A and B are shown apart, each in its own frame.
Chain A
């Protein structure tokens, strides 16, 4: 049995773990686009600041791959696959014959899409090479811009601020993190940014990047010209799926998968930022491109590829970050729609918001105080009816009372905690 994994990200790495859980013999080949072994992509901000070293950012050391019996091809991509013959053609010209394939190529940053966006100094923020490029440029820079209000771009801006640059965030919509949190939460976070010296300007977009070959400034749609040497593009990502054209694999926005993470063609699986999976709240196929989904999907796909039978319950929209000591977490659907119910509480920098539908939690936002957020995630994943307890959502005693209630009514809980001691809610 030969397993081919295209993509050395979170999904690819955990696929190895999943396969090896069942099949200790089969041959595994991992194809990584970058020249590095799988690393913790979310830590590139810390890598930029210099908080962490090279061996911390690597998720596993070289010896792990030898131990697991994995052939790793770095700096290499799959150019084309032929599902009928089960052959993949690599960018180095090699042809690989496989029995099972995992598509985990991930996603790439969207371009800025304005005049002059190819100039030196303009960069996405997705991989180590971006960090090295920005580091190189950093010495000649005084001011950096972040274009877009997404989490990744702003994380990069935060890192540059920590390194001592002047940072300004330019967002087209009314708020930052518009895909992650609601307006009120964004306002609190934005204020916190401003108080810590990062300027945020909304309702603006760049028209042209100024400068000869290198970025020297930016022209905004308001007509303003601003000086700056670095421009981070945070316009989101789009899945790397072009190599699948003509292969017959069902691709919409991403690669469509079922509850075992199979694609429409047998023996072909998909996971991570390239895969469309069932959203646990809405039930719709969607790309929830976050780390935790990618890791879990890779693992589940690996088990199924190796002949196991593991159901993937669904992905969840979830984000967590901390800026200048202010943590925040968001999960599920955070904006109101038609027939949902909103519960909110606010105290200075602390803000909590719960979105309910039919007495079930479908989304939540926590700013400042994130403790016990996982408990709400469990409520969201399982869709437990909250009954009269919903008025206590977010209160410090909520889970104490609620779990007490579950303990009392038993609901299979007594046995499960005392005997197995694991996974009460998500079974």
Chain B
């Protein structure tokens, strides 16, 4: 009887990354089986939910305890990657796209100042031809904030017991190569049929909600992208050839900006909660 239950629990444990399973899998399974009632054949709902959540958090790397400052710097780094990927996939100018891609490469390695150079250059290359690209502009702001070390500016101190403190070092860990997919995905999305685009927006919102519960870096990164989308549709700025400043106050933009604020707030609240032991 307990072999069937053990097999089912082993399947559930696939939610954890393989390294974690090697280290903890047998022990976790032992505890789950100790806790099972005699004759139980199916995993309990509460146990299954906890395995799914903790497994996903371990996969995202969110299970490590960080200072709120470290959460913010990693969230902003992911946000900058999303923005640069979106810009690389959607700008019509080849040189600007290449500059955005080199910005991605430097951001993935945590080189904020190095990343600022091609990102600002991409922004400048586009300016004579089109209004200010807000995705690139927002990426410049995110990278500048990271480069200036906003952590000390906001007064985040590392509490005792953080092995990975000071937080900035952890954000400087190179990101996985999977982030390079951001640009082609954005490109495909740009030309995707409307129902698919709507599905992706809905998926994005659901991911933000789940993300806020699992990993505070997700709402912070999502908010970076949303603020750029909101500004792109609201504020047009063209500095060259009779400078123009256009403002379209669409209701949708206010909704997006309110969502951005809510996501940043969720990121802040969750990173403070998760910093506690």
Q: Do A and B come from one complex?
A: no
